[in-house]
Amino acid sequence: MTATSRRLVAVILAAGEGTRMRSAIPKVLHPVAGRPMLGHVILAAADAERLIVVVGPGRDDVAAYARSIRPDAIVCVQTERKGTAHAVLAAESAIADAAKAGIEDCIILFGDTPLIAAKTLASLRGALAAGLTIAALGFEARDPTGYGRILMDGDTLMAIREHKDATEAERAVTLCNAGLMAVDAQQAVPLLKRVKNDNAQMEYYVTDLVALARADGGKTGTVIADEAEVMGVNDRVQLAQAEAAMQSRLREKAMRDGATLIAPETVYFWADTIVGRDVMIEPHVVFGPNVSIADNVTIHAFSHIEGTSIGNAAQIGPFARLRPGSEIAARGKVGNFVETKNAKIGMGAKVNHLSYIGDASVGVDANIGAGTITCNYDGFGKFRTEIGAGAFIGSNSSLIAPVTIADGAYVGSGSVITDNVPADALAVARSRQVTRDGWAKRFRASKGKDKA
């Protein structure tokens, strides 16, 4: 049986208090690239037929978040903290039920390892499919201090020794335990129930499963991952390090998928940002959640974009702010110091500078002059502005919603528009200019006498 034909139950340990985070927010809900760490782990285990999340007592927020991603997630509570094996046993009945249902693979994960990749979990499962009872995930550590050591004999995993329990010779080993482990699901619960706490910490270690499996004649081995991928997060410093690593991963993916990032280290992606081919992203661009960018788009420097879809060959920025609900159609232009919110900018339409377009639709090839504002809020409710195809809105105009500027209509510069404008009409709403010849000369002379 191959790994792809086997079924999986994933157990994610997410009960840690995270006291070193110095936060009221549970550790696993702190975001990396905008997505809580637990979310990254859940998505990495997307192939799991059954997903179990072990939470601490009273952590309904963690449970609710897990179910927001996996509505079928099974939530188990670890009422006491007595080690990793004890934490997994909080899910004893759920793991046993999975085994009874014929599920072959069980993977134990941690909710604070946001960089773990699905392909690495597939490698662990592949080791089980090849006949191992247990496959532990290891990494070569630059500094192994504090990590459990993986003790090998050829290709066989002999034991995992916690740092505090290791001999000096064992502490010289640089192959370290990442914590994640794949176990034959049929044997997981019987092995877990035999774990003892006769160690320096007086805790029940899930790593002891290796020795127990070997004592039963099982085969054990190791899958090697990159150190950065298995990084755990325990404090704000490590959170920042995980963020940096995730951003590097997202930037590399965008570039390998066909986008140009002029200064990659200055561009910040959200975990769900979608970037097309032949996209040009200039320096200091920040993406929030739910952004989709089609091909051939140019995003100029210092733009901030969230909750927005951008069509083919559109141009954004510099210094543009696109807020949630914005839709920029193909060839649309949103220029410098323009803000949009809940706005549809039609194909080829231009909002080039110094404007706010909120709760509005701008038609195909319409032109919005500098300083235009859609006045969409009266202090109680929001109202829409509809601007038709080919319409021209003169600079420094205020459009008081609800209002419609029909196709091909013109609005004179400096107008305050409160009524609908018919198609192909001109609307001018401003005071008539008054010119007084010689007034300025007389004014200066008067002021000069007063000063003297």
Q: Which one is catalytic: 40, 86, 300, 353?
A: 353
Element (DSSP H or E) covering residue 318:
none
Collapsing DSSP to helix, strand or coil, 168 comes out as helix
Condensed to tens digits (0 to 9), the pLDDT of residues 326-365 reads 999 999 999 999 999 999 999 999 999 999 999 999 999 9
* Residues of each domain in the chain carrying CATH 3.90.550.10: 3-224
Kindly list the distances between the CA atom of residue 385 and the CA atoms of 324, 345, 374, 402, in Å, as whole numbers in the listed order.
Answer: 17, 12, 7, 6
End-to-end CA distance of the chain: 102
pLDDT at 452: 63
C-alpha 30, offset from chain centre: 11
* Residues of each domain in the chain carrying CATH 2.160.10.10: 253-427
Residue 170 structure tokens: 């064992």
User: Going by C-beta distance under 8 Å and a sequence separation of 6 or more, which residues neighbour residue 337?
Assistant: 319, 320, 353, 354
pLDDT < 50 positions in the chain: none
Bridge-based pairing state of the strands 350-353 and 333-336: parallel
Q: In 3D, which of 317, 391, 305, 299 has the Cα closest to residue 348?
A: 391
Q: Is 251 left (phi over 0), alpha (psi -120 to 50) or beta?
A: alpha
Residue 49 structure tokens: 């037929």
Condensed to tens digits (0 to 9), the pLDDT of residues 285-299 reads 999 999 999 999 999
Sign of CA pseudo-dihedral 170, 171, 174, 177: positive
CA dist., res. 273 & res. 292, Å (int): 6
CA dist., res. 274 & res. 8, Å (int): 29
Read off the amino acid at residue 370.
Answer: A
User: Going by C-beta distance under 8 Å and a sequence separation of 6 or more, which residues neighbour residue 255?
Assistant: 261, 264
pLDDT at 1: 56
Read off the amino acid at residue 102.
Answer: G
CA dist., res. 274 & res. 113, Å (int): 23
**Fold exhibited by the domain 3-224:** Spore Coat Polysaccharide Biosynthesis Protein SpsA; Chain A (3.90.550)
Q: Are 11 and 106 in contact (CB under 8 A)?
A: yes
Read off the amino acid at residue 332.
Answer: G
pLDDT at 218: 96
Class of domain 253-427: mainly beta
Read off the amino acid at residue 33.
Answer: A
- Kindly report the three-state secondary structure assignment for every residue of 35-64: EEHHHHHHHHCCCCCEEEEEECCCCHHHHH
Residue 287 structure tokens: 């993406």
Q: In 3D, which of 353, 351, 352 has the Cα closest to residue 362?
A: 351
pLDDT at 448: 80
Active site residue 284: no
Element (DSSP H or E) covering residue 127:
helix 118-129
